[in-house]
Structure 1
Amino acid sequence: MPFWLPAMTAYTLRPKRGLSLLCTIAALGFSVIFIIWYGMNSDRDYIHPILTQLIPAGHCACESSTTFQCSTCLTCPEPPRQENTTPAWSFEYVRDGRNEALDQRQCQAAFPGLFEDIARGGKFWSTHGGLSTAELDAITIQQGMARAFISQGELHVVTARSKGEDHRRKILGTLSSIHRALAADPERASRRDVEFVFSVEDKVDDVTNPEWPVWVFSRTPTEQGVWLMPDFSFWAWDNPNNYIGPYDQVVDRIKRLDIPWSDKKPQLVWRGKPSFAPKLRRALMEAARDKPWGDVKQVDWSTGTNVLKMEDHCHYMFIAHVEGRSYSASLKYRQACHSVLVAHKLQFIQHHHYLLVADGPNQNYVEVERDFSDLADKIEPLISDTEAARRIASNSVKTFRERYLTPAAEACYWRSLLDGYAGVWNSTVEQWSESTQRERGLRYESFVLLESPKMFEFDASATERWQAS
């Protein structure tokens, strides 16, 4: 055998060993990626807690949360009343809760703290020179967005784009809520004309830039340019697979079917799909697993497994609330129950979140960390002292169900949003287009009569107008 053969043999084996090592690393990498993917997308009841820790935060951005600083909050002292004057008007739930025609003075008296984000938006745009049609023209109307204007107290739709029925229903619900608030407006005839763009998508960055003045359902603290509006489900939440109905109808149903506090289960209830926000939701599931006070389960909508009706959540003393890929519209339904809401530190802000109070005499919910690490520490003392829990639940009902989430409060908020927006609106609104020789927008009353397909890609400038002969 030649003396050089062993050396060549050794040399030819090295690439094979390197290739095997690369294959092993690739296999391990693929396995890790698959395991993480599985953890993020699985709706199984249990995956190993280590895998839960490996799941990236993703959309939920779990390192951040919102701290509300409300200058007109629930705990602020009432201004001193002057003597020898007519008694001040005050809000009464039974009398005023469904009164959508409260005037501006009554709205301010009834709902202190509700208009905080409007004031924030107005201050932001005041420091940026106000708003004009130039800012609106720069906004690309994506699917899930609409442009509209109010002229002489009437709502007109300029453009609306929908990817499908879900978008169309949400856009229609939003427009309907605005129209309802206008129809009941005591100052409708003198209302200033404004034009605006809104989005019905879950997140601002799904469709637009947070620096644009788009009306949205929720925002994060850094999204300063947008304006908060009530979400579509105050009008109604209805789709082919899930009928809920108008929000006030749900409240009536809950009040009718709720049970006495002493009969409620001293447990924490939650139902949902873990894959919507796996980092958050699986943390909740693990924190409550095997606890005598935990009734936290995943649902399978295809089979109906673990599905619980909205009103049946109210049969529990404690209801957990978890954000999804953004805000969760289910919060207000949980707040309709005479139960204790338990929520992690929220990242997304909705228009009524400024009224959430986590401690003190006006406490109306229980706040825990975003990883639910202190859930047991917060829940177990209230399980032992259900009277303390009952006070929190009663504060929640008094604050939200019987005040800040009433039809009266919603209408007041819409009109306050229009007022705040008008305060920084520097342009006129033209009803008539000289270039097309037709109205720039279609009246709301006509828009709602359009066939559904015509709403998907609606452009008022391209809509045929027939004249009666």
Structure 2
Amino acid sequence: MAGMEDLDYRDVNNAKSSALPATTFAAALLVYLTLLVPWGESLKARSYETPAKAVEWLPPAARPAHYRWSFDADRDASNTGLTHAQCTLAFPDLYPEIDRAVDYWQSRQHTITPDDIEISWRKDGAVRLLIHENKLRVIESRVFESDNTYGGYSQRTEATLNQIRRALAGARAAGEEIPTIEFAITVEDFNRIPTNESDTHTIWHFARRLIDRDEDRVWVMPDFNFWAAPAAEGVVDFEETRKLAQQRDSPLADKIPQIVWRGATWTNKARRGSLIHATKDKSWADVMEINWKNKKNMITTEDTCDYMFLAHTEGQTWSGRLKYLLNCNSLAVVHSLEWHTHYYHLLIPDGPEQNYISASQDFSNLEQKIEWLLEHPDHAQRVANNSVNQFRRRYTTLAAENCYWRRLFHGWASVAFKPDAYETTRGGERVLRGVAVEDFLQAGSHKTDLARAAAKEGPPEG
């Protein structure tokens, strides 16, 4: 079947990244010997003592044969240039959602076609993209016809495109060649994928609804908040927010012994209204509805880390809040979720590796949960520690997000058509399709016209 004859996308060949000119290798090896082998001692006698961190800066081909890399959060959490093999070693449990999507299309025995990724069915909030030679191009944009959602479709789109750019830069740094692919994304809360059992339209979105079989066709990508949260209070850059959360670290016993939540209830009255009802007049709760117009009852993201319990609720669909809560060394309290993001499968509700507190959708068991945890501080602290190790120090890091994007590119390529990156202009010239993402982002409010004009006519003369 076309598009499926290549090697398994999980086994990307990184031979190019490990190739090194002989002179460069010799120079690197000389530096290694000078730094690590004291005068008068043989390399053979000292080789087993080579400090791992001392050779991290060396290219893979210049590292000693006995060296084995392992993920170190303090060193690697923000490293966007991990190799494919390092991504697999560092984040072995990160990719089930990609595997699910690949398996779905293989089970349908259907290679994704250009018609499957057309976005005419989307009124707004969608972009069609092309990756070629590790560069991102915009083929079509339907983003700026409406801008009426939180942060605006424009800000969400810019954040998502910058995430992809960052992932491609990481691939280049790692010597990884991303295959030429064409795909579509949507940045609205609802992906609105056509509902028809035989339909083969597909799109990349921030989440999919678990009970909706039509959404099996959705490819889940990291949400825009991993770049920055538009219109948020306090610091919006996600990496900076993670650092501020860490600065608020303290034992649970020293935190405010309450559950905290701020939000608008109109986005999900069933879940959020239930939380407010369950916590009304409770001494162990600091739960309030906010008004975005007057910003009453607002609290910064980092200030929530001062509380022992942090409530998470879904909004209209998924909610981007959880990743922030999981970067505090507190206890995230999460109701059973209807929507699935790229990392929700890593939530463990019980057992020795428990890393959050599960609650019913109506929060009717919340008081019992809070009281029990207050009476069992050792258990509560263990769960908080597990959460930090699982999420802040590994699976919500910049390195993990970058690795996910790159694996997503390969997974998609394994079941989709290979696009022609070039088109013929009216003047007969062969040019790259669409516009460079840098031009698209710089064009501001003219992005839609710019992308559509380029897709139809190619670049202007002169």
Could you state the TM-score of these two structures normalised by the residue count of structure 1? Answer: 0.77
Q: Give 2:270's match in structure 1, choosing from 252, 274, 279.
A: 279
C-alpha contact 2:310 2:333 (8 A) present in aligned 1 = yes
Measured after TM superposition, the shift of residue 190 of structure 1 is 3.1
Aligned letter for 1:193?
Answer: T
Q: Give 2:358's match in structure 1, choosing from 356, 359, 367.
A: 367
Matched, 1:344 2:331: no
What secondary structure, in the 3-state scheme, does the structure 2 residue paired with 1:448 have?
helix
Aligned letter for 1:296?
Answer: V
C-alpha contact 1:321 1:343 (8 A) present in aligned 2 = yes
Matched, 1:378 2:369: yes
Measured after TM superposition, the shift of residue 467 of structure 1 is 5.0
CA distance in 1, matches of 2:120, 2:346: 31
C-alpha contact 2:248 2:328 (8 A) present in aligned 1 = no
Cα distance, 1:206–1:288 mapped onto 2, change above 3 Å = farther
CA distances 1:8-49 after superposition (whole Å, capped 9, x unpaired): xxxxxxxxxxxxxxxxxxxxxxxxxxxxxxxxxxxxxxxxxx
Cα distance, 1:458–1:166 mapped onto 2, change above 3 Å = farther
The percentage of aligned residue pairs carrying the same residue is: 35
Matched, 1:292 2:283: yes
C-alpha contact 2:130 2:137 (8 A) present in aligned 1 = yes
Which structure's CA Rg is the greater one? 1
Matched, 1:151 2:132: yes
The residue that corresponds to 1:214 in the other structure is 203
Cα distance, 1:184–1:436 mapped onto 2, change above 3 Å = farther
Aligned letter for 2:445?
Answer: S
C-alpha contact 2:433 2:458 (8 A) present in aligned 1 = no
C-alpha contact 2:251 2:381 (8 A) present in aligned 1 = no
Measured after TM superposition, the shift of residue 432 of structure 1 is 2.1
Cα distance, 1:436–1:288 mapped onto 2, change above 3 Å = farther
The residue that corresponds to 2:192 in the other structure is 205
Aligned letter for 2:141?
Answer: A
Measured after TM superposition, the shift of residue 115 of structure 1 is 0.5
C-alpha contact 2:331 2:357 (8 A) present in aligned 1 = yes
C-alpha contact 1:238 1:244 (8 A) present in aligned 2 = no
C-alpha contact 1:161 1:458 (8 A) present in aligned 2 = no
CA distance in 1, matches of 2:337, 2:386: 20
The residue that corresponds to 1:178 in the other structure is 164
CA distances 1:155-193 after superposition (whole Å, capped 9, x unpaired): 110011221271111111111111111111156563211
What secondary structure, in the 3-state scheme, does the structure 1 residue paired with 2:216 have?
coil
CA distances 1:184-240 after superposition (whole Å, capped 9, x unpaired): 11565632111000000112227887952200001012310010000111112234x
Aligned letter for 1:215?
Answer: W
Matched, 1:447 2:447: no
Cα distance, 1:294–1:189 mapped onto 2, change above 3 Å = closer
Aligned letter for 1:445?
Answer: E
Measured after TM superposition, the shift of residue 413 of structure 1 is 0.3
CA distance in 2, matches of 1:428, 1:264: 54
The residue that corresponds to 1:101 in the other structure is 81
The residue that corresponds to 1:426 in the other structure is 417
The residue that corresponds to 1:353 in the other structure is 344
C-alpha contact 2:82 2:174 (8 A) present in aligned 1 = no
C-alpha contact 2:343 2:395 (8 A) present in aligned 1 = yes
CA distance in 1, matches of 2:107, 2:393: 36
Matched, 1:224 2:213: no
Matched, 1:405 2:396: yes
Matched, 1:317 2:311: no
> Aligned pair count?
383
Q: Name the stretch that deviates more: 208-217 or 271-280.
A: 208-217
The residue that corresponds to 1:50 in the other structure is none
Aligned letter for 2:203?
Answer: V
Cα distance, 1:207–1:131 mapped onto 2, change above 3 Å = closer
What secondary structure, in the 3-state scheme, does the structure 2 residue paired with 1:238 have?
coil
CA distance in 1, matches of 2:330, 2:80: 27
CA distance in 2, matches of 1:292, 1:302: 28
Matched, 1:126 2:117: no
C-alpha contact 2:434 2:458 (8 A) present in aligned 1 = no
Matched, 1:465 2:456: no
CA distance in 2, matches of 1:410, 1:339: 22
The residue that corresponds to 1:116 in the other structure is 96
CA distance in 1, matches of 2:364, 2:187: 33
The residue that corresponds to 1:237 in the other structure is 229
Cα distance, 1:463–1:447 mapped onto 2, change above 3 Å = farther
CA distance in 1, matches of 2:182, 2:266: 38
What secondary structure, in the 3-state scheme, does the structure 2 residue paired with 1:195 have?
strand
Measured after TM superposition, the shift of residue 141 of structure 1 is 4.3
Structure 2 alignment gaps of length 5 or more:
1-64
Aligned letter for 1:112?
Answer: P
Q: Name the stretch that deviates more: 317-326 or 419-428.
A: 419-428
What secondary structure, in the 3-state scheme, does the structure 1 residue paired with 2:217 have?
coil
Measured after TM superposition, the shift of residue 428 of structure 1 is 3.0
C-alpha contact 2:118 2:184 (8 A) present in aligned 1 = no
